[in-house]
């Protein structure tokens, strides 16, 4: 989980994350969060970022294996990190460190943003493709979820097509061996 925590403090968000993500795909949670010092208008909601203390309850509930707060101005050596790739790289470094330390290899890595509301259960491990990255549409910027939307996870393992109105850059399930 990497990025600005924004709405992570909301109980409905972190409870849904535990139920729909962590309970479906048990494993360790690694969190790299931006330290922000401003108020944002996020999709019409005013979010005041209060620093790490405002997210204590959420993080305690989610119980990450590793938490790191990074200044929003720290690009971690990247020339430009507006998309957060340097934070994602830092998260991967923490994952690799734990794998080496514990003598394990995770089967899958789930990449999410901390302000992403997971509205439905993630697929169980037996349903995950082992040879490709699973990205599911979330419709977050392009349109509302279409009326009658009832597809399940296995229905959307193909790339973007006429039925998928955009693939989320907020979420991916990645087989560790890829």
Q: What are 58-103's pLDDT values in tens digits?
A: 999 999 999 999 987 788 888 777 667 889 899 999 999 999 999 9
- Which H/E stretch holds residue 59? helix 56-62
| pLDDT at residue 40 in the model | 67
| pLDDT at residue 7 in the model | 85
Tell me which residue has tokens 């789930």: 110
| pLDDT at residue 142 in the model | 40
Residues 6 or more apart whose Cβ sits within 8 Å of residue 45: 7
Instruction: Decide which of 128 and 170 is more confident.
Output: 128
Question: What is the residue-averaged pLDDT of the chain?
Answer: 80
What are φ and ψ of residue 59, in 5° steps? -70, -35
**How much is the pTM?**
0.79
pLDDT at 2 over 70: yes
| pLDDT at residue 164 in the model | 45
């Amino acid at each position: 989980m990497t990025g600005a925590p924004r709405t992570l403090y909301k109980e409905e968000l972190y409870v849904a994350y535990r139920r729909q993500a962590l309970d479906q795909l048990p494993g360790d949670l690694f969190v790299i969060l931006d330290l922000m010092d401003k108020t944002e208008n996020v999709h019409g909601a005013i979010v005041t970022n209060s620093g790490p203390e405002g997210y204590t309850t959420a993080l305690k509930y989610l119980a990450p294996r590793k938490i790191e707060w990074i200044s929003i101005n720290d690009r971690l050596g990247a020339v430009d990190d507006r998309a957060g790739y340097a934070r994602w790289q830092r998260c991967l470094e923490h994952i690799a460190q734990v794998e080496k330390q514990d003598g394990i290899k995770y089967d899958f890595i789930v990449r999410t943003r901390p302000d992403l509301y997971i509205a439905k259960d993630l697929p169980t491990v037996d349903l995950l493709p082992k040879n490709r990255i699973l990205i599911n549409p979330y419709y977050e910027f392009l349109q509302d979820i279409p009326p009658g939307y009832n597809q399940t996870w296995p229905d959307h393992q193909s790339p973007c097509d006429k039925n998928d109105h955009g693939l989320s850059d907020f979420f991916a399930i990645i087989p560790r061996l890829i």
